[in-house]
Structure 1
């Protein structure tokens, strides 16, 4: 699955959540509420990573870690959608900038370390 296919699937789930929230609560989440949900997911992910590293006891194990990583990816895709960000272009641009910046700090071939 490529990024566009992931984005389309994420938006479909987003739209289902909107439909459910309209039905159950009479409103949909704001962009700020999506961000707060994402922050909560990142916190859950941090606990699961600590569990994977043996630093704490966490129920769910590997399956929970995979689920939370997918939740975080979904949140990033939806935040990009809600803020009209071309995530693929932004990712490529950012990785190029990082490549240039990091490479500039490394010794060139033949130079002493």
Structure 2
């Protein structure tokens, strides 16, 4: 009888051990599912951030292209203005050399009030 009780105790102990192992695996499976859900949520956040970054990069590239075009247009306008200034200056020199009336007019002194406008001290940074 005592052997049977010991045997029954061992069987109960074995079943309790199996139950504890099964419970352990059940808890591990639940933790794994929780970790999987968290990883999927993190992946979604990372994908959303990447999509936002791609959109920002696209906007920045479009802005850089627009800036480059505006810079090129401005450089062309500056070159055209410089050429117009050079042409006008050359025409004035040619007119001054070719026409005595123009040469005499340009040799006249500038009135004092007008000179004051041109002789004002320039502001800091002005050219």
TM range (shorter): under 0.3
Kindly indicate which of the two structures has a greater share of residues assigned to helix.
2
Bigger relative contact order, structure 1 or 2, given CA contacts below 8 A and separation 6+?
1
Asked which structure has the greater CA Rg, the reply is: 2
* TM-score after normalising by structure 1: 0.24
* TM-score after normalising by structure 2: 0.21
